[in-house]
Amino acid sequence: MGKLGLGIAVGCAVASCAIAAMMVGRRVKSRRRWWNVVRALDEFEEAASTPVERLRQVVDAMAVEMHAGLASEGGSKLKMLLTFVDNLPDGSENGIYYALHVGGTNFRILRIQLGGQRSILGHDVERKPIPQLLMTSTSEEFFDFIALSLKEFVERKGDSLQLSQVRGKDLGFTFSFPVKQTSVSSGTLIKWTKGFAIEDMVEKDVVECLQKALSRRGLDMNVTALVNDSVGTLAVGHFLDKDTVAAVVIGTGTNACYLERADAVIKCQGLLTTSGGMVINMEWGNFWSSHLPRTSYDIDLDAESQNPNDQGFEKMISGMYLGDIVRRVIHRLSLESDVFGPLSSKLSARFVLSTPLMAAMHEDESPDLSEVSRILEENLDIRDVPLKVRKIMVKVCDVVTRRAARLVAAGIVGILKKIGRDGTGGVTSGRIKGYKVGKMRRTVVAVEGGLYTSYTRFREYLNEAVAEILGEEIAPYVILKVMEDGSGIGAAMLAASNSARSVDTVQVL
């Protein structure tokens, strides 16, 4: 071989070494990027984990906060509001009643016909989305829209009932925002949640606003019950099953209420009710405890929200936020690595990934996760990602949903603990060894809301966690019952039970 030949051979060897080194380098880099993703995902999973011991700490914290909220005004982040509902419907109610439901993405109008003996003879519901603009308009515009919609409903459904025939009819009003109730049919708005911001309504009496709008539209109806969605759900639950003692709503937002002994409401000394009980609206979306598994994504979501430092529990568990937590995690993973392809600007947009889309990805059962692909492409501009990356997407949805569902379960058991229905000795003592299961009473919790009813994995995780926390001896006594449209129907039932009964049975001395 001449010098030239040797030179070429050496050159070729050097070049191929360089190419090989580059390829190895790239592979190492891409592996490193992949490991970055795996590491970030592991960290997230760890921070969001909810082992049963942690859930039990949340149970205890919930029960303790409930106590504190009942002991004094402002004693806890849980407002523990009096609802002035002291008697729940018992199934004997009769007649036609209307209800309005305002509280989230959809506004609902209902008409029910009750036939006594726990029977619902007729049930009409109409849903209307609330125009985005009205959510931040004036109270007059907002209530005019509601009154007009009710009028149109009455006219449309008025085969046998004309406008004049609804004169004097009782109307239940479910208004699912924090309200300081002054009687069963009046109350002032404390603050907006769930993206609503009609500033001139804060501290106004919501029934007065509605009643005025009804008059403007020529509708002569009486708002005889103002309730929160959870109270409505409890009412219908109790109408159908007398063992129902609490209700939880898990939709766009979340809340819970339960039947408390009047004498346990320490902040309201001398509270007298005919039944000796009082439904307490917990406003549990605002619950907070250091035991909640909070991640950096939750901190960012809160800081960028319309209501920072507020509704901390709600921001970890309700439908308004779950999709956005997933979006935040994927955004971070995309910054860490290019496994999701070039960084999509969509990933910086808040709420671009809704919870129903997240659920559709989570529940994609196709072998190649084609639904995940489609949603990534159509909603996040993320294209052609390999199967292992689509699997990461499903994993993130799973972590977020599992945590949310298990925290709700802990919250529910917290309520049961407060009222002595969890098989332990109550708030102060721990689980009692040899506790007699024979003492346990059948306990029903009514559940309502799109997250629970439409997101199967969420529901399964929640039910599973309630049983896990309670243990196999106690769990069979606790039943979660779905109440579809419960909040609206319940408001109509409360309108019925409150018009039939004397309303002034509740006194605060």
By annotation, the residues acting in catalysis are 108, 176, 229
3-class state of residue 229 by DSSP = helix
State the nearest-atom distance from the C-beta of 319 to ligand ADP, in Å. Answer: 2
Specify which residues 410 forms β-bridges with: none
Q: Candidates 147-155, 229-237, 282-290, 424-432: pick the segment binding Mg ion (CB under 5 A).
A: 229-237
State the nearest-atom distance from the C-beta of 356 to ligand ADP, in Å. Answer: 4
CA quadruple 451, 455, 459, 465: dihedral, nearest 10: -90
For 384, the token pair is 């052609």
Select from 132, 162, 128 the least CA-distant residue to 148.
128
Q: In the window 185-204, what residues touch Mg ion (CB under 5 A)?
A: none
Residue 319 binding: pick among ligand ADP, Mg ion, none (C-beta 5-8 Å cut-off by kind): ligand ADP
State the nearest-atom distance from the C-beta of 230 to ligand ADP, in Å. Answer: 11
Select from 230, 287, 227, 272 the least CA-distant residue to 68.
287
Count of residues that interact with Mg ion, criterion CB under 5 A: 4
Residue closer to ligand ADP, measured from CB, 102 or 339: 102
Question: Are 180 and 267 in contact, with CB atoms under 8 Å apart?
Answer: no
Question: How many other C-beta atoms are found inside a 10 Å radius of the C-beta of residue 159?
Answer: 6
Residue closer to ligand ADP, measured from CB, 262 or 282: 282
Select from 440, 467, 462 the least CA-distant residue to 451.
462
- What span, in angstroms and rounded, lies between the C-alpha atoms of 167 and 463? 44
Vertex 467: Cα angle to 463 and 469 (nearest 5)? 115
Residue 222 binding: pick among Mg ion, ligand ADP, none (C-beta 5-8 Å cut-off by kind): none
State the nearest-atom distance from the C-beta of 362 to ligand ADP, in Å. Answer: 9
State the nearest-atom distance from the C-beta of 378 to ligand ADP, in Å. Answer: 17
State the nearest-atom distance from the C-beta of 131 to Mg ion, in Å. Answer: 18
Q: Candidates 80-88, 142-150, 227-235, 469-477: pick the segment binding Mg ion (CB under 5 A).
A: 227-235
State the nearest-atom distance from the C-beta of 491 to ligand ADP, in Å. Answer: 13
Strand boundaries in 274-388, DSSP class E: 277-281
Residue 232 binding: pick among Mg ion, ligand ADP, none (C-beta 5-8 Å cut-off by kind): none
Question: Are 191 and 177 in contact, with CB atoms under 8 Å apart?
Answer: yes
Residue closer to ligand ADP, measured from CB, 277 or 486: 486
State the nearest-atom distance from the C-beta of 388 to Mg ion, in Å. Answer: 38
Place of tokens 């149970």: 59
Residue closer to Mg ion, measured from CB, 171 or 382: 171
Residue 170 binding: pick among ligand ADP, Mg ion, none (C-beta 5-8 Å cut-off by kind): none
Residue closer to Mg ion, measured from CB, 44 or 258: 258
Q: In the window 100-129, what residues touch Mg ion (CB under 5 A)?
A: 103-104
Residue 210 binding: pick among ligand ADP, Mg ion, none (C-beta 5-8 Å cut-off by kind): none
Report CA-CA distances (Å) from 79 to 82, 200, 447. 9, 22, 21
Residue 451 binding: pick among Mg ion, ligand ADP, none (C-beta 5-8 Å cut-off by kind): ligand ADP
3-class state of residue 9 by DSSP = helix
Residue 409 binding: pick among ligand ADP, Mg ion, none (C-beta 5-8 Å cut-off by kind): none
Residue closer to Mg ion, measured from CB, 103 or 414: 103
- What span, in angstroms and rounded, lies between the C-alpha atoms of 311 and 292? 13
For 232, the token pair is 């409505």
> In this structure, is the dihedral angle defined by the CA atoms of residues 208, 210, 213 and 219, taken in order, positive or negative?
negative
- What span, in angstroms and rounded, lies between the C-alpha atoms of 101 and 236? 14
Residue 244 binding: pick among Mg ion, ligand ADP, none (C-beta 5-8 Å cut-off by kind): none
Which residues bind to ligand ADP, rule: CB under 6 A? 103-106, 251-252, 319-320, 355-356, 359, 449-451, 454-455
CA atoms within 13 A on the CB side of 237: 28
Strand boundaries in 37-155, DSSP class E: 81-82, 94-102, 106-115, 120-129
3-class state of residue 444 by DSSP = strand
**Exposed e or buried b for every residue in 315-353, given b needs 16+ CB within 10 A?**
bbbbbbbbbbbbbbbbbbbbebbebbeeebeebeeeebb
**What is the CA 157 to chain-centroid distance, rounded?**
31
- Single-letter code of the amino acid located at 424: T
State the nearest-atom distance from the C-beta of 141 to ligand ADP, in Å. Answer: 20
**Of positions 251, 277, 319, 486, contacts Mg ion by CB under 5 A:** 251
For 456, the token pair is 């199967």
Residue closer to ligand ADP, measured from CB, 45 or 363: 363
Residue closer to ligand ADP, measured from CB, 91 or 251: 251
User: Which DSSP string corresponds to 149-184?
Assistant: HHHHHHHHSTTS--GGGGTTEEEEEEE-S-EEEEET
Residue closer to ligand ADP, measured from CB, 95 or 356: 356
For 431, the token pair is 């689980």
Which residue ranges make up the site for Mg ion (CB under 5 A)? 103-104, 229, 251
